[in-house]
Amino acid sequence: MKSPLIEVHDLHYRYSDGTLALDGVDFVLYAGETVALLGANGSGKTTFVLHLNGILAGEGSVMVCGMPVGKDTVAAVRQKIGLVFQESDNQLFMPSVLEDVAFGPLNLGMDRTHAENRARLALEQVGLEAAAHKAPYHLSAGEKKRAAIAGILAMEPETLVLDEPTTFLDPPGRRALIDLLAGLPQSKILVTHDIEFAAALAGRAVFFDRGKVAGEGPTGEIIRRFGWDKSSHRSAASCSREG
Amino acid sequence: MHIPDGFLATPVWGSLDVAAVPAVGLLVRRAQRGFDESKAPLLGVMGAFVFAAQMINFPVGIGTSGHLVGGALLAITLGPAAAGVVMTAILAIQALVFQDGGVLALGANVINMAVAGVLAGYLPFRYWGAGKWRKPAIFLGAMLSVLVSAVLALAQLLISGVAMPASVLGLSLALFVASAALEGAITLAVVQALETIQPGLVPKPQARGSFIRGALASAAVLLAVVGVLFASAQPDGLEKLAQNVGLSSQARVLFTTPLADYEAGFLRSPWLRKATAGMAGLVLIYAACVLFGRVVSRNRSS
Amino acid sequence: MHHVVLERWSRRESTLHCRDPRAKAVALVIFLVIVATTHRSFAGAACAYFLLLVALLVWARLPLLAVLARAALVLPFTLVFALISVVAGDPHRALLLMGKSYLSALAVLLVVGTTPLPRLLRAFESLGAPRFLLMVAQFVYRYLFVIAEEAQHMRVAAASRGASASPAARFRAAAGALAVLFARSYARAEAIHRAMLARGFEGRFRLLSVLRFGWADAVFLLLAVAAPLAVRLALEAGA
């Protein structure tokens, strides 16, 4: 049996004001898998993924590619796990698209020529070669999301983690994102409210409820079990019944 | 209050540019703490906030409205050094992108707003911010920050020989006081609103501040402001002082040598002597501010 | 919006656009100093300087009238002082004020209209300005419009709600809006920091852009300094 890319055991995390955000979460991800993290706002999904690349540190064990995530391994871990944040504007912080996509490779210690080449390759992968010298402000929401993904791809990670990637996208933008992600070989974790997006890409889904994993299984089954194929306020009600 | 190019006399903008270099260097060193650049985005974003904040109108009643300038608010929430760096960055962008303030005059604008204004905005809060005088401290600080910047700018214009009859001077001062009071009111209202939505954003200064020190600091700033204004409106008094101290003759030699080739006639004009004497006064006050700042920062770190 | 127009101008193509930003920055400062120290025969000198700038604007293929109009933004403020000077019996100073402030704004526009601001900031760093300060300025520029848009939405929302409320109530509402904007900006800065960490940031920005000073830049700098200097010396000789 192949070893997992990501292995999380009994993860607990408290905010500075004492609220318990994660209450004993277990999680496993294998190479090539795409997993959707579903759950209401505030259920802990985003807090959870921030532990995978060491931005947050809680109690419990988080292993990435066999390494425990800690101070000495955090640089290596951040190359392996590429995190795409919800708001692209906060991720595209450099003056031009090319400079932004090259940010990761430069931090990995590559020299300028190699970093620029990596950046251009990544931009080609997402179809944005022509936008290399544009300022991020001038891109559409869909282009920004692709540029952000390029910034991660330029680091050649093993796993892509995307936090609510379809939030600001219109239906054509969503379609384009689904096509793009479907064509990428890395394993993926998709934190999302978008049922169709999850169903289109993820074979497995994990349902978060108030900091715990309330259920796990094939995506379609999880969506039905927690009532998310109907309106969202019904799913909150069904959560409290089952949680 | 942003002085454009062409207003200040050469010795004035020249020496202020020279004075601004070490001042900004000091601010950057204190704000950055070592080689870590990770605070740059925070300072940058808060600088963008100040720009954006100027779009929000605060009604003053009679159909007019004002807006936040921001020096004191930044000083209270980010600390004076970081606030100074943010204001400097803002001033540079205003000069370059919005043609608001000159490029050669940048040194003057930085000294007025990013150094003196921020310091004046911070001092009352530093000493009174932890106790029951917190609200007056915030109001007074914001008021002083605008007042000090405006008066310094006015002084620099006067020394440079920009014509200002007494009536215009009086009107300007009245406007300064009014906009300073508005800044005080806005800053206090915003800080109070901030404390309701996210108390962690407004730090408490060390409780070691004493009322007397705070009162002395504010009085010193006020005195300096009044002093500068009087000196610049009547440079002859300063000139006599400079002559007695032997400064003005030395200054003349300094300025003659490099510029003699193509400005000989200009240098012997009486107004250069006035300008140099006035500058000597400004430099002295600047030195006092820097020393004061060092004392304050040593108190903070001990 | 102001800086959007400048963005478009600065990303056009021309020989001037391609020059090393350091050459342009140094030429700008020297030009400004020459203008600032011109006192006698100012009218003649100002015309010559103006023609020089116009020639460069045309060479840079910038929209001439738009740039000339934009530089005139300094004039309202200057006009007040100029009028006071005239009334106080010093018309020469009025001319100096108007002329110098306008020429200075025009020269700055020429440089900023042919150089994207982040590149200009890189030039200042290369010329010795503190790197941290320039990184802060870069971030201010990047998020300027983003946060201004947020503020605009809040302004519209507030206006549609409280047009009839008392000034005191509207004052407090505006303060509340600013506080919310402040908190959101702070949270945004935290998000940006996390995004930086996620891509391996370890405390120091490593930048891609490299500035290369070539022969063309040296020639440009020489000419750009020589021309106004020649005007100045000619006037000194003639006077």
pLDDT, tens digit (0-9, with 9 covering 90-100), for B12-66? 999 999 999 999 999 999 998 767 889 999 999 999 999 899 888 888 766 677 8
Strands (E), A111-231: 159-163, 187-191, 204-209, 212-218
Segment B82-87 mean pLDDT = 96
Q: Using the beta-carbon criterion (under 8 Å), do A151 and C11 form an inter-chain contact?
A: no
Read off the DSSP letter of residue B203. P
- Is residue A74 within 8 A of residue A62, CB to CB? The reply is no
Banded pLDDT at B271 (limits 50, 70, 90) = very low
Judging by beta carbons within 10 Å of its beta carbon (0-12, 13-18, 19+), is residue A96 exposed, middle or buried? buried
Q: Which of A78, A90, A155 sits opposite C191 (nearest CB)?
A: A90
Give B70→chain C minimum CA distance, Å: 11
pLDDT at B106: 96
Contact assignment for C191 to A82 by CB distance below 8 Å: no
pLDDT, position B288: 60
How far apart are the C-alpha atoms of C8 and A91, rounded to whole Å? 23
Question: pLDDT tens digit string along A175-230?
Answer: 999 999 999 999 999 999 899 999 999 999 999 999 999 999 999 999 999 888 87
What is the number of CB-based contacts under 8 A between chain B and chain C?
Answer: 257
* Residue pLDDT, tens place only, B171-203: 888 888 999 999 999 999 999 999 999 888 888
Class of domain B10-301: mainly alpha
Instruction: Give the residue-averaged pLDDT of C159-179.
Output: 81
The ranges assigned to domains in chain B are: 10-301
Q: Residue B208 has what pLDDT?
A: 60
pLDDT, tens digit, 9 for 90 and up, residues B221-257: 777 777 777 766 665 554 555 555 454 444 444 333 3
Average pLDDT, integer, range A118-144? 93
Q: Is B295 helix (H, G, I), strand (E, B) or coil?
A: helix
Nearest-CA distance from C73 to chain A in Å?
Answer: 25
Pairing of strands A67-68, A81-84: unpaired
Cβ-based contacts of C145 with chain A (< 8 Å): 137
Q: Considering only CB atoms, which chain B residues are within 8 Å of C133?
A: 24, 28, 85, 88-89
What is the pLDDT at residue B243? 53
* Closest chain A CA to residue C210: A112
Region A3-20: mean pLDDT is 91
Q: How far apart are the first and last CA of chain B?
A: 36
Q: Report the gap between the CA of A108 and the closest CA in chain C (Å).
A: 7
CATH architecture of A6-242: 3-Layer(aba) Sandwich (3.40)
Nearest C-alpha in A relative to C188: A90
Interchain contact C156–A (C-beta under 8 A): no
The answer to whether B5 touches C100, Cβ cutoff 8 Å, is yes
More confident residue, B167 or A174: A174
Neighbours of chain A (3+ CB pairs under 8 A): C
Whole-number pLDDT of residue B221: 74
Whether the pLDDT of residue B273 is over 60: the answer is no
Give CA–CA dist C142/C18, Å, rounded.
22
Residue of A nearest to C189 (CA): A90
Between C196 and C174, whose confidence is greater?
C196
> What integer best gives the mean pLDDT of chain C?
90
- From the list C117, C197, C200, which residue is nearest A108 (CB)? C200
- Which of A98-107, A233-242, C160-169 has the weakest average pLDDT? A233-242
The domain ranges of chain C are 2-125+212-238, 131-198
Contacts of B4 in chain C (CB under 8 A): 74, 77-78, 101, 104-105
